[in-house]
């Protein structure tokens, strides 16, 4: 049986030694892309879900701060930002700052920004060359300001320059998130524009261990709830979020009052991305949704967690991820794993009271999965040594590895394929 998995830019064609008898392919309910996305974006800003049209909401002398997603996200900034800038044609360029919501991720290069942000609708060339861009630096306390303390005692520090803007506009795209419920919404502010210690507390061990910290759950999810508590402290003026299909086409636009528009978007996404299956599986083959999300192993934990929602104890997850950015070299994800003797050892360290480190959250999710399943990794850009160093099993021949799994679990083994990875969130009711 031939199946195409999302992998890098072009996908990966895989031949599986199966006749389909015990195989289930789970994909998001396909929603066609909007016929004219630029027009739909502009119309949403004129007729929002709640609140006034964008142009009416901005005062004539306001300074405007617009948050956009970094390169790790497939957010169509190149469509969203031109729609906003065109709508705000009454605001001069010098009163607009674009903020890159890096969280603790690496800064994006000038060339990446030119490609990500698209063309200036006012005729000035590339947006990245025309407008002032502020990159969030989570590690420099001097660039942050304390805006409050959350109900659980987390000091909320966010980017000072953004907070000084009169009009604060959030952008992003909405999909189920492996521990924050959904992406989009207040995540633009926290973790996007937050300080490292604020992020570390929100993504801490107690919160990750909470069973409600998972895909599609908001009520009772301590991470989602604190993110939006923090976002409310920042007092966003407006939001525009989009939903995407497997082809990265815009399927829905949600604009206006930041929380009302966002919640409308999460309901739309939940309806199409969450897919029920009858029972758990012995083998789950998944992707990490292809480019750009499968850029490194740190991000690939999202695909692992999507598969983990339906894996039987003792089962095997095989994930394909390009990892053109490596483990990566930046951040502490690889270091935390490689300096530990085993997944159990790193989990013990993460759960030590008072201990915290950048990227511990993705390490935490990975090792929790490994308590109940083996994880195999297929990647053209990681060596066997790198994969084993992260306590994972290398895969160089998918067909051969699946044959070995069938020998292990028997000819009646239940197998699931998630071609689009975490764009589909399967669950057992």
Question: How many Å apart are CA 418 and CA 28, to the nearest integer?
Answer: 9
pLDDT at residue 157 greater than cutoff 80: yes
Range of the domain at 139: 37-272
175 and 42 inside one domain? yes
In a domain, 31, yes or no: no
Confidence band for 406, pLDDT divided at 50, 70 and 90:
very high
Pull the structure tokens for residue 109.
């290069």
In a domain, 32, yes or no: no
Confidence band for 77, pLDDT divided at 50, 70 and 90:
very high
80 and 144 inside one domain? yes
What does the pLDDT read at residue 30? 86
Confidence band for 22, pLDDT divided at 50, 70 and 90:
confident
In a domain, 258, yes or no: yes
Question: Rounded to 10 degrees, what is the CA torsion of 361, 187, 306, 221?
Answer: 80
**Coil, helix or strand at residue 10:** coil
| Mean pLDDT computed over every residue of the chain | 96
What does the pLDDT read at residue 388? 98
Helices 222-234 & 258-273 angle (0-180, nearest 10): 150
Catalytic residue IDs: 105, 177
What does the pLDDT read at residue 60? 82
Q: What is the mean pLDDT of residues 48-63?
A: 96
268 and 314 inside one domain? no
In a domain, 159, yes or no: yes
CATH number of domain containing 45: 3.40.50.11440
Helices 360-370 & 297-308 angle (0-180, nearest 10): 40
* Nearest one of 363, 357, 317, 358 to 338, comparing CA atoms: 363
In a domain, 319, yes or no: yes
129 and 54 inside one domain? yes
130 and 49 inside one domain? yes
86 and 19 inside one domain? no
Name which of 103-107, 254-258, 322-326 the model is least confident about.
103-107
Give the strand order in the sheet containing 167-173. Answer: 132-135, 96-101, 64-69, 167-173, 238-244, 250-256
Residue range 409-426, pLDDT digits in tens: 998 899 999 999 998 899
98 and 227 inside one domain? yes
Dump strand ranges (E) for 174-294. 176-177, 181-182, 238-244, 250-256, 274-276, 281-287
Residue range 364-378, pLDDT digits in tens: 999 999 999 999 999
**How many of the other CB atoms lie within 10 Å of CB of 206?**
12
What does the pLDDT read at residue 342? 96
167 and 103 inside one domain? yes
HSE (side-chain half, CA atoms, 13 Å) at 384: 4
pLDDT at residue 46 greater than cutoff 90: yes
Is the separation of the CB atoms in 22 and 415 below 8 Å? yes
What does the pLDDT read at residue 20? 66
- Domains in the chain, number: 2
Residues above pLDDT 70, as percent of the chain: 100
Residue range 190-202, pLDDT digits in tens: 999 999 999 999 9
Q: What is the mean pLDDT of residues 231-243?
A: 98
pLDDT at residue 231 greater than cutoff 70: yes
Burial code (b: 16+ CB inside 10 Å, e: under 16) for 30-58 equals: ebeebeebbebbbebbeebbebebbeebb
Share of the chain residues as helix, strand and coil, in percent rounded to the nearest 5? 35, 25, 40
């Amino acid at each position: 049986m031939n199946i195409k998995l999302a992998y890098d830019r072009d996908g990966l064609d895989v031949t599986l030694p199966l006749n389909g008898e015990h195989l289930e392919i789970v994909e998001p309910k396909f929603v066609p892309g909007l016929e004219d996305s630029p027009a739909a974006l502009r119309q949403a800003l004129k007729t929002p879900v709640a609140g006034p049209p964008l142009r009416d909401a901005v005062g004539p002398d306001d300074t405007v701060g617009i948050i956009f997603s970094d390169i790790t996200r497939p957010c169509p900034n190149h469509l969203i930002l031109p729609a906003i800038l065109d709508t705000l044609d009454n605001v001069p360029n010098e009163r607009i700052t674009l903020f890159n919501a890096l969280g603790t991720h690496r800064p994006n290069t000038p060339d990446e920004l030119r490609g990500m942000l698209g063309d200036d609708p006012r005729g000035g060339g590339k947006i990245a060359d025309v407008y002032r861009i502020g990159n969030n630096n989570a590690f420099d306390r001097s660039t942050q300001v304390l805006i409050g303390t959350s109900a659980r005692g987390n000091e909320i520090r966010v980017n000072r320059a953004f907070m000084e803007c009169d009009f604060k506009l959030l952008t992003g795209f909405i999909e189920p998130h492996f521990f924050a419920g959904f992406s989009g919404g207040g995540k633009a502010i926290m973790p996007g524009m937050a300080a490292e210690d604020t992020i570390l507390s929100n993504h801490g061990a107690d919160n990750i261990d909470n069973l409600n910290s998972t895909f599609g759950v908001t009520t009772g999810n301590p991470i989602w709830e604190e993110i939006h508590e923090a976002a409310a402290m920042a007092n966003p003026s407006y939001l525009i979020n989009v939903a995407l299909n497997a082809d990265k086409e815009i399927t829905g636009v949600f604009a206006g009052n930041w929380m009302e528009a966002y919640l409308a978007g999460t309901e739309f996404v939940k309806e199409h991305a969450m897919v029920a299956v009858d029972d758990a599986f012995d083998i789950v083959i998944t992707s990490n949704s292809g480019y750009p999300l499968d850029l490194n192993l740190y991000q690939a934990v999202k695909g692992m967690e999507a598969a983990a929602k339906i894996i039987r104890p003792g089962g095997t997850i095989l994930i394909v991820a390009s990892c053109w950015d490596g483990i990566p070299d930046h951040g502490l994800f690889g270091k935390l794993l490689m300096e530990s003797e085993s997944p159990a050892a790193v989990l013990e360290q993460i759960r030590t009271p008072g201990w915290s480190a950048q990227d511990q959250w993705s390490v935490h999710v990975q090792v929790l999965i490994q308590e109940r399943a083996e994880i195999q990794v297929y990647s053209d850009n990681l060596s066997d040594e790198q994969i084993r160093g992260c306590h994972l099993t290398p895969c160089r021949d998918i067909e051969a590895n699946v044959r070995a799994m069938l020998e292990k679990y028997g000819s009646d083994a239940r197998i699931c394929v998630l071609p689009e990875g975490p764009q589909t969130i399967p669950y057992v009711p």
